[in-house]
Amino acid sequence: MNGILAFWLAYILTRPIGASIGDLLSQPTKDGGFGYGTVGNSILFISIILSLVIYLSLKQRRVASSLSGKIDE
């Protein structure tokens, strides 16, 4: 599959899900949401994104160092 087509298909399919989750988290509890508000919602999402970036960066570094050790052997 073409990489550009794959990107746009993933974007089109996941954007409505993300918007719905964002709405659910930010809406007041009386309206059926979780009541985090827009600021709380933004803090939650940025925390998740930063955690994933840090985790994946550290994991990649460990994999790269273990591969370089095998090349030296």
Residue 22: exposed, middle, or buried by beta-carbon count in 10 A (0-12, 13-18, 19+)? middle
Residue 71 CB coordination number (10 Å): 6
Contact 24, 33 (CB under 8 A): yes
- Reply yes or no on whether the pLDDT at 65 is more than 70: yes
Which two structure tokens, joined as six digits, stand for 52?
Answer: 């994933």
What CA–CA distance (Å, rounded) separates 16 from 57?
28
What is the predicted pLDDT for the residue at 63?
Answer: 84
| Lowest mean pLDDT across 2-11, 30-39, 44-53, 64-73 | 64-73
At which residue do the structure tokens 């989750």 appear?
A: 21
Tell me what the mean pLDDT of segment 4-26 comes to.
Answer: 94
32-46 residue pLDDT tens: 999 999 999 999 999
pLDDT exceeds cutoff 70 at 72: no
pLDDT at 21 over 60: yes
Residue 16's identity, in one-letter code, is P
* pLDDT score, position 61: 87
